[in-house]
Amino acid sequence: MLTFLLVLVVFSILIIVHELGHMFVAKKVGVKVERFSLGFGKKLFGIKKGETEYVLSLFPFGGYVKMAGDNPAELKGTPEEFFSKSPLKRFLIVVGGPVTNYIFAFVLFTAIFVVGAPSLTTRVGRLLPDYPAAKSGIKVNDVIFEIDGKSVEYWSDLVNIVQKSTSGSALRFGIKRDARILNFRIAPKIIKTKNIFGQEMTIGMIGISPREEMIFVKHNLFQSISLGAERLIMLTGLTYRGLWLLITGGLPVRESVTGPIGIAFLIGEAAKSGFVYLLAIMAHINIALAVFNLLPFPILDGGHILFLGIEKLRGKPVSPRTQEVISQVALYLLVALALFVSWNDVTKFLPFMK
């Protein structure tokens, strides 16, 4: 029950952030916002502040902003209506939601680096038999502090150096064992493996795995902002690359796509690991939500942007009837995709289906 409430809170935060982005820009460009709803369906309760009614609706996993004149059939021709505004202003309103999710992800990553990002130490936890490290004399609990004269503090630093060493040349490892400092020369074994996108790659391996020894690395605000931006850019690139591979068939949909059920499971697991992990999964979801919403697919924000682009090129909007038909078809396709992804999540994450 506690996990369900936590998932509900996280989803609600993501929805509120997204819809606030739409509402903020709408109000800035002079569009009347009639309703801000957390959830869909029947209104449970609400309060009115100024021109806007803020409501909680029956089905909590979703939300919307109702603007004056955002439905062509309801147009009255007043300047405060959505369709009374120029294509540029309507574009800014539509893109406001995804951009706000993106900004929120950046804020979360920055906060993580300020509070302290968890990192594995370089203490050896296990040696794989028949690999170079086991044959070299390295032992479990040794701490690797240096590789070829370069200091390594975290496991990710160590992995990055070793995996890039595919020339066959030996690396010099500086080791702390109790009070002693030892040196070993180890030539990584060159192997072929697959990256997170299922593509084949060549890496170096010495055959060690880390001990479950974590440290929290804190940074000052300016360093955290820089690291947060780097993480945001890196994950955005990975998201778009994965999306492209899905579209072109380079990644299997069944193994690669996760829906609300899978996301809820991941949120629950992150929460068990600690608050920082929960912030991290929230940041990842915000990026995914921003990217997904910007896809040029009708009924998504990206679909509205597509229609605006067509309107700009033609000099007049796509007819309401055409938009309605396209949106209905898109809705059916999106529902079908949601059902497929949800069933896939059930088979992957729920124990009784395994």
Q: Which distant-in-sequence residues (6+ apart) come within 8 Å of 194 by Cβ?
A: 200, 201
Residues across the chain: 354
For residue 115, give both structure tokens.
């509070």
The helix/strand/coil state of 194 is strand
Long-range contacts, 235-238 (Cβ 8 Å, 24+): 235/284, 235/287, 236/287, 236/291, 238/196
What is the sign of the dihedral through the CA atoms of 149, 150, 151 and 157? negative
How many whole angstroms separate alpha carbon 322 and alpha carbon 127? 63
- Comparing CA positions, the residue from 223, 257, 239 lying closest to residue 114 is 223
Is residue 19 annotated as part of the catalytic site, yes or no?
yes
Q: Which residues are catalytic?
A: 19
